[in-house]
Amino acid sequence: MKEQPNGHRAHGFSSVSFLDSDEIIKELALNGDEVFMDAGCGDGHNAIKVLEDYNHRGCVYAVDIYDASIEDMETYKKENNVENLINIEADITEGIPGVEDDSIDVILMVNVFHGFKASRKLDEAVEELKRIVKSDGKIAIMDYKAWDVPNGPPTKVRSSPADLEKLFNNHGLKMTYLNEEIGEDIPEGKSHYLIMFEKE
Ligand SMILES: C[S@@+](CC[C@H](N)C(=O)[O-])C[C@H]1O[C@@H](n2cnc3c(N)ncnc32)[C@H](O)[C@@H]1O
């Protein structure tokens, strides 16, 4: 467990110190009224940014498997009286309780997806994302490029955009957007890609 700059506890490595949240959120072109989900929110900095800096009026879900992260998001919600924030402790691969089918406009996952490859739960994760996203909603995944570089997860758990496209296609989801010039500047280029999927 690590305490992050916003004082919240996170299980994994928060991206707050090395990825630019604004760069990521702007990619989503939010209008402020969407039902938005930060899936695998960790310290919740992306959800909090959407709420505070983008004045999001729609419902914002913050979901994480780690109980302490969700406890801290609940404290944040109460201390700041944020009525449109819903925090859920859940394993995405097992299903997110309380979230109805076809109910989310935009799902964002930053540095989370590679964990499903590590746990061999890729199909379960995609099925749950597909279940909850609206028919015209989008699933945005930002993750490390599948390069053998020192920072980030082991190469064997990284996926390329083409790997993800194949996986999502198998579940009836189509790729609608790909940005491979995003993230941190590393000697090899930009560290990440951001890929979006929608229902076919
Ligand atoms: C590397 S952290 C990234 C956190 C945050 N998205 C960020 O960019 O700082 C990965 C997060 O995914 C969460 N996570 C991993 N597997 C999960 C699962 N199966 N269901 C829900 N959350 C999960 C971890 O608890 C952790 O908070």
At residue 3, the pLDDT reads: 72
At residue 1, the pLDDT reads: 59
Q: How far is the CA of 198 from the centre of ligand 1 (A)?
A: 22
At residue 11, the pLDDT reads: 86
Of all protein residues, whose CA lies closest to atom 9 belonging to ligand 1?
14
The finding on whether 15 has its CB within 6 A of some atom of ligand 1 is: yes
Q: What is the mean pLDDT of each run of 10 residues along the chain (200 residues)?
A: 80 92 98 98 98 97 98 98 98 98 98 98 98 98 96 96 98 98 97 97
Q: In this structure, what is the dihedral angle of CA atoms 102, 192, 72, 33, given to the nearest 10 degrees?
A: -40
At residue 183, the pLDDT reads: 98
Tokens of 22: 């604004």
This prediction has a pTM of 0.97
CB atoms within 10 A of CB 146: 18
At residue 121, the pLDDT reads: 98
> Does 3.40.50.150 match the CATH number of domain 2-199?
yes
In the chain, the N- to C-terminal Cα span, in Å, equals: 39
Mean pLDDT, the chain, integer = 96
Q: Is the dihedral of CA 127, 131, 136, 137 positive or negative?
A: negative
